[in-house]
Chain A
Amino acid sequence: GNSVTQMEGPVTLSEEAFLTINCTYTATGYPSLFWYVQYPGEGLQLLLKATKADDKGSNKGFEATYRKETTSFHLEKGSVQVSDSAVYFCALKDAGGTSYGKLTFGQGTILTVHP
């Protein structure tokens, strides 16, 4: 079955530091890949997505590139802010089959940014 593995947290950084959160996946075919962010006590918000190999998703200074050869979708940001403190989830969506539409999530990575 499909699975998503994220780097274990929590991750603690100082403001303006470089961020990488690793995400690797196992899936058949060509899934779509997503990064979601969850602020305390809230639902999830889509941060970025990529739908095919070598696509780069980007939003609010965050980037992730769909690497089929390494089955990875690592999240990066060049300079984090305190307001980026949240939980980040990597997810994949099947390209088709009986479970189409279903998202498979990683376990989430807690990011804390200090001033």
Chain B
Amino acid sequence: DGGITQSPKYLFRKEGQNVTLSCEQNLNHDAMYWYRQDPGQGLRLIYYSQIVNDFQKGDIAEGYSVSREKKESFPLTVTSAQKNPTAFYLCASSMGGQGSYEQYFGPGTRLTVT
């Protein structure tokens, strides 16, 4: 079955540590996205990538980094510079270009930093 996988589902880290969240898709989509979701709020875009080896900052990129070395993979690193990293992180993908293509979402990773 085609889809998006995120691992792990729950992640716990100590303050000051970097942590990398995995996102893999087998939908052959060109574009991939990372969102952050906080309780009672909508989704906020962290980074997005329209094509391999290229990515753009979203609305809240500070304290995060990404890479896009393969079409299928778009890992997100939450660095120690992110002041409030505890949140639910969602990865998504879509066909590229300017069409009205919907985004498909993974199941999410809940990160807790103490």
Contact = CB atoms under 8 A, between A and B. Distances in A.
A95 B105 contact: no
B58 A96 contact: no
B75 interface: no
Contacts of B58: 102
Contacts of B108: 41-43
B107 A51 contact: no
A42 B107 contact: yes
B1 interface: no
Interface residues of B, number: 27
Contact of A101 (B31, B43, B104, B106): B31
A34 interface: yes
Residue among A4, A43, A108 with the most chain B CB within 10 A? A43
Contacts of B97: 100-101
Interface size on A, as a range, is 20 to 34
A24 interface: no
Given A96-B98, A101-B94, A101-B96, A43 B106 contact: yes
Interface string A93-110: 101100011110111100
Interface in B55-108: 58, 90, 92, 94, 96-98, 100-108
Interface in B1-58: 4, 6, 31, 33, 40-43, 45, 48, 50, 58
A32 B100 CA distance: 6
Contacts, number: 58
Contacts of B104: 46
Nearest to A48: B102
B98 A103 contact: no
A105 B44 CA distance: 8
Nearest to A90: B42
Interface of B: 4, 6, 31, 33, 40-43, 45, 48, 50, 58, 90, 92, 94, 96-98, 100-108
Minimum-distance CB pairs A-B, first 3 = A32-B100, A43-B105, A105-B42
Interface of A: 4, 32, 34, 36, 41-46, 49, 51, 89, 93, 95-96, 100-103, 105-108
